[in-house]
Chain A
Amino acid sequence: MLKNKFIHLAIGICTLVALPVAAMSATELAFEEGHFRYSQEALANAQKEINIVEINVSMNRRDASILFLKDPNDKSTFAASFSLDEQEFNGRIKSFGSSTRALKKKSVILKIKGAKWKGYQNIALKSMSSDGSLMREYMAWELMRDMGMMVPETFYVRLNINGTFIGYFLYIEWLGKNFLDTRGYDAASEMYQPDDAVYCGDFRHGSDIERCWNKYTQDGKDYSSLKALSKQIMAAPVESFDKFVADKFEDDSLVNWIATNTLTSDGDTYNKNYFMVKSGATKKWKVIPWDYDLTFGQSFDMFVPFPGSIFNERFQYYYTPDLGVFNPMKAKALLNENLKAKLYSRLKHLIGKEKNGSEKTFGWFSPTVMSARVEHLAKALEGGQVRQKYGKRSATSFIEQYDAVEHYGIARPFYIEANMFSTFEWNYRNTPQMKEYVAYTKGVDLTPEEIAKADTALLSEAHDVINPIGESKKGLDEHEFMAKLLEKPFTGRGVSGYSNKSLIVYDPGFGYVLARLDFKEQFRIADFQAEAEAFKPPMYVYNEGNPEQCIQRSWVLFSRIPSLNIKADVTLEYFDEHSQKNELGGVKDEHKVNLWVHSGDAWKPLLTEVNQKSNTLTVNDFRLQAGRIYRFIACSSAESALWSRPVSR
């Protein structure tokens, strides 16, 4: 009896102690990373109903076929009628876009004749054909809209031509006079966009405003406002650039733009993809971002010619906020302490580090919310995407694509947290672009290619500005970063309690994900340590294994909890950023790679799910036991086909 009472008392105490932790775990954190949080509103927002609008086009059958098969640069239009919002329109249809013109599924414009839809004559439908997941651009615009930025309306479209489902497209509101009118901008307002054929809309000294920019409103030939702004940006001191921005810009669009580009890893913007709008009433400026298809891990491979440079299966989530070309607006914003603090605050809020903003956006970009968002979008799109006439992928390939976006959404917050708010102090002063900035302040335009040939005195001066004499260096430049990266294994530790959810083990120094553990069983506490020896052939391989036919990385995983015995899906990642920086070694086909594990007795092959886009390898239902050290390698061999399969759901 006494024994029973004691047991009941013990259970009661345990329950009281455990309940708050368990409750928090169950409702708030799907990923037990411990330091990213999110609001329920943000999670609900990520899973809100997705608006997919049907547009039915009728046109000549021969024209309909040619529209998608013709010479990509051809700008011809074809007669078409179409229905939208239960209204009927007549007009023309044509393909548009830049790099995606080379792909079969082309973006199209429906041009209405003699009528308007919501005040517009042009209905632009982006093909999203550079994005196998069909969700990158959609998510980027949702993020900016939720942040309160003035951005175009977007929604998914199911485009049918002559009754045939062509594919999913993204409607994007036409930026021009009507866009400004509907947002309260008067007729004196001005709108400019860099000409994306000349790559110079960046406010450098050599950026000829009239050649590098197009003006869409008011007097299309008068560029005086933008010219004046360019000179003002040039003259504005870094120390007071925040005051300049407050004085010349309507809102936080400049910082929000950089925050969005940082989160989504968009470098394809600072000299071509954005708009500058000047209000006729306030005489102040606003940045309107543009073009977010090459984001969320898409990697630009500068070492191969188009189209491989853009349309490739490379991946990254580890670019710092200076990514993209030099632009003095970006440079000065990142060098000014107040604007940098504002940017950091915005990023902390969005990844769920600090609740210093609205409920809707708190944790918008946290791993849990991003994971939920991607899965939700995938469910909405997967049924239709395999039936697209152009640009369709197999169900397996689509999973691989959106799984990669999900991996980006999970890994990116860790990287940002580790590099910007942790021990690694990222600073624009330590980036290669700082040389361009110093040259810019001396009235010289330098590109990265020109730096090696630049005037010695200028470079020496740049060096002194970047590393002031007598001041200790605060961060690492890229070369030092790579040297540090190669000299020791990445190491990280992840701890979680009272959950059956996922655990990310990452290197807090570099921000790289070392292991993701999706537990299959409830546990009281999990404490895992992981190491990865990167950019090296595996030191130990199985008999007859060829280290050169292995991913050039080895992983070690172990737990310090004495009694732990738990089943989990274990995901490991490797680098494949571009053709000159990857860990592929002699591996030609990543889909023919499988993991091997050695835990004290012998090497054993593991049934492995491969995502060649995000460069992740997953072994399901792997039993982890305390006291064991698990060493993993990933190799390609004749038997790999039996052990390797694409990532699945």
Chain B
Amino acid sequence: MKIKNVLTHTITSLMIASGLSVVTAGSAQASAYMLSEGQNMYTTGITYSTATDWFNQNRNRVPQGCTSKDSSWGHSYTYGYSYYYNFFANASLANQSCGVGAKTAGLGDVQVGIRGRLDLERNGRTWEVALNIPTGYDNQKINRLGYGKFGLWAGVAWSTQNTGWEEKMPSYWEAGTGISYWFGPPASQSKTYVKWSWSLDDNGDNRIVLKGVLKLSLRDGKPEFPVAFAGFPRYSGDYDAGIISAKYSRRLSQQWTAAITIGETVWGRNISASRYGTLSVTYRWDD
């Protein structure tokens, strides 16, 4: 009985302490790399994000009237179905609050997709399409877990690293771009990222990754969905964002990699100027 209680308590705590912000949940995790047939990769990470300001419709940074405190537990799984196709799925459990409105905890949007090769003779050049699936949460809440609509994501990615051997390259670049389309009110949005990975040692076991992400609304930039107060849209369906981040990753073994990431939204429209930190681990294995 005691054991059962402890287990229940632990699981509840994990559920509450975890999650993925709605902004992240709505974005595909583009990758320039294909797994081999029969390879599996699972990444899980806990993110904490907080903000006191937001970028308003005029892109001015102003106080948002509440301090947002969001935590999430993200999960990402990719399977190498064949040389030509990988399948992937992303999901998150979230706990979100910002002074007003009820705290929200639970499963956010789920994304399932397929990734393929732009160049059949090398790695590091991919296309992907994905379906964003809402999971039944209340999308009218101020603190909510997703857009509440089905959406499609399509993107491409490139990397200067094209083979496994070059994992030991001192540095390499990666870039990707794509579009999200929603079957409903949320504005379509383009997402572009550039990242630079630099190895701290000869084996490439310790790496620093600097990344910049630019998200641009493809509509008129007017806030969508409920506002918290004073015109602050907690999660607008129409927003721009410029996010920078730095990551340190360490390969612990052939299978395990751990990483810590910090980042900040430094520019935007209709979005919180949040800072976040993520602790994540990745596990890879073959069938």
Contact = CB atoms under 8 A, between A and B. Distances in A.
Interface of A: 62-63, 65-66, 69-78, 101-102, 197, 306-307
Interface in B2-38: 34, 36-38
A102 B82 contact: no
B254 A197 contact: yes
A62 B165 contact: no
Nearest to A72: B163
Given A65-B121, A71-B163, 19 more contacts: A69-B121, A70-B121, A70-B122, A70-B123, A71-B162, A72-B163, A73-B36, A73-B163, A73-B165, A74-B36, A74-B83, A74-B164, A75-B37, A75-B286, A76-B36, A77-B37, A102-B165, A306-B165, A306-B168
Q: What are the 5 tightest A-B residue pairs by CB atom distance, in nearest-first order?
A: A73-B164, A76-B83, A76-B37, A71-B123, A75-B36
Chain B interface size, as a band, is: 20 to 34
A72 B36 CA distance: 11
A72 B121 CA distance: 10
B80 interface: yes
B39 A75 contact: yes
A101 B167 CA distance: 14
B120 interface: yes
A70 B83 contact: yes
Contacts of B120: 62, 66, 70
Contacts of A70: 83, 120-123
A102 B163 contact: yes
A72 B123 CA distance: 9
Contact of A66 (B38, B121, B163, B168): B121
Given A62-B120, A77-B37, A197-B254, A72 B165 contact: yes
A170 to B, nearest CB: 23
Contacts of B82: 76
A72 B80 CA distance: 16
A306 B122 CA distance: 19
Interface string B162-203: 111100100000000000000000000000000000000000
Interface in B236-265: 254
A602 to B, nearest CB: 53
A66 B122 CA distance: 9
A72 B164 contact: yes
A365 B121 CA distance: 43
Nearest to A197: B254
Contacts of B121: 65-66, 69-70
Contacts of B34: 71, 74
A69 B122 CA distance: 7
Contacts of B162: 71
Nearest to A71: B123
Nearest to A99: B165
Instruction: Tell which of A69, A71, A75 has the most Cβ of chain B within 10 Å.
Output: A71
A69 B162 CA distance: 12
Contacts of B165: 72-73, 101-102, 306-307
A212 to B, nearest CB: 13
Contacts of B37: 75-77
Nearest to B81: A76
A75 B162 CA distance: 15
A307 B124 CA distance: 20
A66 to B, nearest CB: 6
Contacts of A73: 36, 163-165
Nearest to B168: A306
B83 A78 contact: yes
Nearest to B121: A69
Nearest to B33: A71
Contacts of A63: 83
Interface string B117-136: 00011111000000000000
A108 to B, nearest CB: 14
Given A66-B121, A76-B83, A77-B37, A71 B254 contact: no
B139 to A, nearest CB: 40
A75 B163 contact: no
A194 to B, nearest CB: 14
B169 to A, nearest CB: 10
B83 to A, nearest CB: 4
Interface in B28-74: 34, 36-39
Nearest to B122: A71
Interface in B65-95: 80, 82-83
